[in-house]
Structure 1
Amino acid sequence: MLRIETLTKRFGDKTAVDAANIAVERPTMIGIIGRSGAGKSTLLRMLNRLSDATEGTITFEGEEVSSLRGAAKRDWQSRCAMIFQQFNLVPRMDVVSNVLHGTLNKRSTMATMFNLYPQADIHRAIEILDRLGIAEQAPKRAEALSGGQQQRVAIARALMQDPKIILADEPIASLDPMNAQVVMQSLRTIHEEDGRMVIANLHTLDTARRYCDRVIGMRDGRIVFDGTPAQLTTGAARDIYGAGADFSEDATSTQIETLDRPEVRKAKALV
């Protein structure tokens, strides 16, 4: 279904992603973990074609998307939706209009300029918001919502594209633990109910184990782990994070009950 072969991205003399190979045979939920600077975000940006690969190919359902240009590239980006850490909403615009921006690739320039949307699209946007538990926020400005609510609006906007793949780049990094769990459960439900592939960059081992079917670990641009959550042992995590024997999984935890312990705060400083 999705095949990434020797995918490489260089910035000058720095290699951000080094010959990545990933094969996905069916829609699944994948977590990509690793330290900051490991190449996770660059990998997703190449998948979405926000950034071009230096070498290698990306193939989806038999089509080489890494070589697409112009309208074909924009069509791919509508089938491969992107969710960002900072939400990328229009703060002063109401929530439902932000969600409707997910249809921009399919609308005329004139309709976009005058903010004109078919009634069916408006109804669908509200239905998606209702599915995510925030339909009552539809008339409010996006800036009036909490971080967790704004991220769910960003997910709703992605769903308006009706994508085959949803890419989530650190979707919970700026959220508190409770909102992080709500957002991750929303992505998991979308995967299970819609049969969409979800690939999420994550910092936390417990989140990857809890919500993902498959975990990929990156270190210094290279894939150093690719397996099931059960195979993500503490030893494997040490290798992914380049940590020594003093590495503690609590350092990457989003579990509310562990976050306030002094030893956890100290461990986080090591990651």
Structure 2
Amino acid sequence: MISVEGVTKVFGRNTAVDNATFSVERPGMIGIIGRSGAGKSTFLRMMNRLTDATEGRLLFEGRDVLALKGAEKRAWQSQCAMIFQQFNLVPRMDVVSNVLHGLLNRRGTMATMFNLWPAADINRAIDILDRLGIAEQAPKRAEALSGGQQQRVAIARALMQDPKVILADEPIASLDPMNAQVVMDALRRIHDEDGRTVIANLHTLDTARRYCDRVIGMRGGRIVFDGTPDLLTTAAAREIYGADENFSESATSTSIEALEPETSADEAYAARLLTN
């Protein structure tokens, strides 16, 4: 389904992604983990064609999406939806209009400028919002919603594209643990119910183990781990994060339990730092 062959991105003297190679045989929920600067976001941006690769091929159903241009490139971006850490919504626009913006590549410029949408599209947008538990927020401005609700609007916008692949770049990094769980539950449900491939960049081990079928670990632009969650041992995590024997998984936890009263103050503070 997806074949990544030697994909590399060089910025000046810095190699952000170094010879990334792996394949995906069937739709799955895949987590990419690693410390900041590991190349996770750059890889997703290349896959979505927001950034050009320096070299390599990325085949989707036999077609090299890194070589696409013009209308074919835009068509691929419709099939490969992107969800961002900071939501990328229009704050003063109502929620349902933000969701409808998932159709920008398929609608005329004038219709988009004047916010003119067919009733069928509006109804579909509301149905998607309802599926994500926020249909009642449809008429509100996006800026009036909580962070977790805004991220679900961003997911709804992605679903409006009816994509084959959803890329999520740190989708819960700005959220508190409760909202992080709601968002990750939604992404997992989308994979399970729709059969869509979801690839999510994640900072934390517990999230990757709980939600993903497969985990890819990146360090310094290179893939240093590729396996099932049960293989993501503490030793493997140390290799991914470049940590010594003092490495503690509790410092990367985003679980709701990490903020319960019995948790130490130091652990709770570390968890808050990672989710803010």
TM-score range, shorter chain: over 0.9
Rate the CA distance shift 1:270–1:126 in 2: closer, same or farther, 3 A.
closer
**Can you list the C-alpha shifts for 1:125-160, whole angstroms capped at 9, x where unaligned?**
000000000000000000000000000000000000
The aligned amino acid for 1:261 is S
Kindly state the Cα deviation for residue 22 of structure 1 after the two structures are TM-superposed: 1.4
Contact 1:95 1:137 in 2 (8 A): yes
Kindly state the Cα deviation for residue 115 of structure 1 after the two structures are TM-superposed: 1.2
SS in 2 for 1:82: strand
How far, CA to CA, are the matches of 2:204 and 2:248 in structure 1? Answer: 12
Pairing of 1:145-160 with structure 2 (within 5 A): 145-160=145-160
Q: Which residue of 2 is the match for residue 91 of structure 1?
A: 91
Q: Is residue 239 of structure 1 aligned with residue 239 of structure 2? A: yes
SS in 1 for 2:32: strand
SS in 2 for 1:93: coil
SS in 2 for 1:85: coil
SS in 2 for 1:136: helix
Q: Which residue of 2 is the match for residue 75 of structure 1?
A: 75
How far, CA to CA, are the matches of 2:17 and 2:67 in structure 1? Answer: 18
Q: Which residue of 2 is the match for residue 261 of structure 1?
A: 264
Q: Is residue 29 of structure 1 aligned with residue 68 of structure 2? A: no
For normalisation by structure 2, the TM-score amounts to: 0.95
Kindly state the Cα deviation for residue 263 of structure 1 after the two structures are TM-superposed: 4.2
Rate the CA distance shift 1:267–1:237 in 2: closer, same or farther, 3 A.
farther
**Can you list the C-alpha shifts for 1:72-100, whole angstroms capped at 9, x where unaligned?**
00000000000000000000000000000
Kindly state the Cα deviation for residue 264 of structure 1 after the two structures are TM-superposed: 2.3
For normalisation by structure 1, the TM-score amounts to: 0.97
How far, CA to CA, are the matches of 1:269 and 1:126 in structure 2? Answer: 33
Kindly state the Cα deviation for residue 52 of structure 1 after the two structures are TM-superposed: 0.4
Rate the CA distance shift 1:117–1:235 in 2: closer, same or farther, 3 A.
same
Q: Which residue of 2 is the match for residue 133 of structure 1?
A: 133
Kindly state the Cα deviation for residue 269 of structure 1 after the two structures are TM-superposed: 11
How far, CA to CA, are the matches of 1:22 and 1:12 in structure 2? Answer: 25
How far, CA to CA, are the matches of 2:115 and 2:8 in structure 1? Answer: 39
Pairing of 1:1-271 with structure 2 (within 5 A): 1-259=1-259, 261-264=264-267
Contact 2:258 2:271 in 1 (8 A): no
The aligned amino acid for 2:119 is Q
**Can you list the C-alpha shifts for 1:11-50, whole angstroms capped at 9, x where unaligned?**
0000000000010000000000000000000000000000
Kindly state the Cα deviation for residue 6 of structure 1 after the two structures are TM-superposed: 0.3
Contact 1:247 1:267 in 2 (8 A): no
Which region of structure 1 is more displaced relative to structure 2, 82-91 or 257-266?
A: 257-266
RMSD between aligned alpha carbons?
Answer: 1.5
**Can you list the C-alpha shifts for 1:85-121, whole angstroms capped at 9, x where unaligned?**
0000000000000000000100011211221101100
How far, CA to CA, are the matches of 2:109 and 2:92 in structure 1? Answer: 21
Contact 1:248 1:267 in 2 (8 A): no
How far, CA to CA, are the matches of 2:138 and 2:111 in structure 1? Answer: 21
Rate the CA distance shift 1:117–1:5 in 2: closer, same or farther, 3 A.
same
Rate the CA distance shift 1:142–1:268 in 2: closer, same or farther, 3 A.
closer
SS in 1 for 2:51: coil
Kindly state the Cα deviation for residue 258 of structure 1 after the two structures are TM-superposed: 2.2
**Can you list the C-alpha shifts for 1:204-237, whole angstroms capped at 9, x where unaligned?**
1000000000000000000000000000000000
The aligned amino acid for 1:192 is D
**Can you list the C-alpha shifts for 1:226-268, whole angstroms capped at 9, x where unaligned?**
0000000000000000001110001110112324523426867
Structure 2: 5+ residue runs without aligned partners? none
SS in 2 for 1:173: coil
SS in 2 for 1:116: coil
